[in-house]
Amino acid sequence: MGLVFALSPLLIIAVGALLLMMAEVFFKQRNGLALGATLVFATAGAFAGSIWMVGVENLPGIEALSPWLITDRFTLFFDMILCLGGALASLLAGGYLPEHNIDRGEFYSLLLFATFGAMMLAGSGDLLTVFLGLETMSLGAYALTAFRRASPRSIEGALKYYLLGSFAAAVLIYGFALIYGATGHTDLAGITQVMASGKAEMPLMLMALGLVFVGLVFKVSGVPFHMWTPDAYEGAPTPATTYMAVAVKSGGFAMMLRVLLTVFGDAQSMSWSSGWPPAMAMVAVLTMTVANLVAGRQESVKRMLAYSSIAHAGYLLVGVVATMRSQTQASAAVMFYLLTYTVSTAGAFGALILCGSRGAEAVSYEDLAGLGRRHPAAALPFALFLLSLAGIPPTAGFFGKWFVFHAAIDGGFYALTIIAFINSVIGAYYYLRVLVYMYMREPAAGAPVAIPMKSGYVTAALVLSAILVIALGLAPAGTLDMAVQAATHSAG
Least Å from the CB of residue 432 to another protein: 28
Least Å from the CB of residue 189 to another protein: 15
Q: Identify which of residues 131 and 385 has a Cβ nearer to another protein in the complex.
A: 131
DSSP 224: T
Least Å from the CB of residue 227 to another protein: 12
Q: Identify which of residues 182 and 294 has a Cβ nearer to another protein in the complex.
A: 182
Q: Identify which of residues 286 and 470 has a Cβ nearer to another protein in the complex.
A: 286
Exposure string (b/e) for 345-377, b if CB count within 10 Å is 16 or more?
bbbbbbbbbbbbbeeebbbbbbbbbbbbebbee
370 neighbors 376 (Cβ within 8 angstroms): no
CA gap 109, 37 in Å, rounded: 8
Exposure string (b/e) for 190-199, b if CB count within 10 Å is 16 or more?
ebbebbeeee
- Given the rule CB under 8 A, which residues bind another protein? 14, 18, 21-22, 25-26, 65, 68-69, 100-102, 104, 106-107, 109-110, 113-114, 116-117, 120, 126, 128-129, 132-133, 135-136, 139-140, 142-144, 146-153, 178, 180-184, 194, 199-201, 203-204, 206-207, 210, 358-359, 361
Beta bridge partners of 124: 69
Least Å from the CB of residue 178 to another protein: 7
Q: Identify which of residues 109 and 221 has a Cβ nearer to another protein in the complex.
A: 109
Least Å from the CB of residue 245 to another protein: 19
Q: Identify which of residues 151 and 326 has a Cβ nearer to another protein in the complex.
A: 151
Exposure string (b/e) for 118-155, b if CB count within 10 Å is 16 or more?
bbbbbbbbbbebbbbbbbbbbbbbbbbbbbbeebeebe
Least Å from the CB of residue 381 to another protein: 24
CA 97 to chain centre: 22
326 neighbors 411 (Cβ within 8 angstroms): yes
CB atoms within 10 A of CB 185: 20
For the chain, how big is the Rg over CA atoms in Å?
21
CA gap 331, 323 in Å, rounded: 6
Q: Identify which of residues 180 and 402 has a Cβ nearer to another protein in the complex.
A: 180
CA gap 335, 30 in Å, rounded: 35
Q: Identify which of residues 420 and 449 has a Cβ nearer to another protein in the complex.
A: 449
Least Å from the CB of residue 157 to another protein: 12
Least Å from the CB of residue 248 to another protein: 13
Exposure string (b/e) for 328-342, b if CB count within 10 Å is 16 or more?
bbbbbbbbbbbbbbb
Q: Identify which of residues 215 and 476 has a Cβ nearer to another protein in the complex.
A: 215
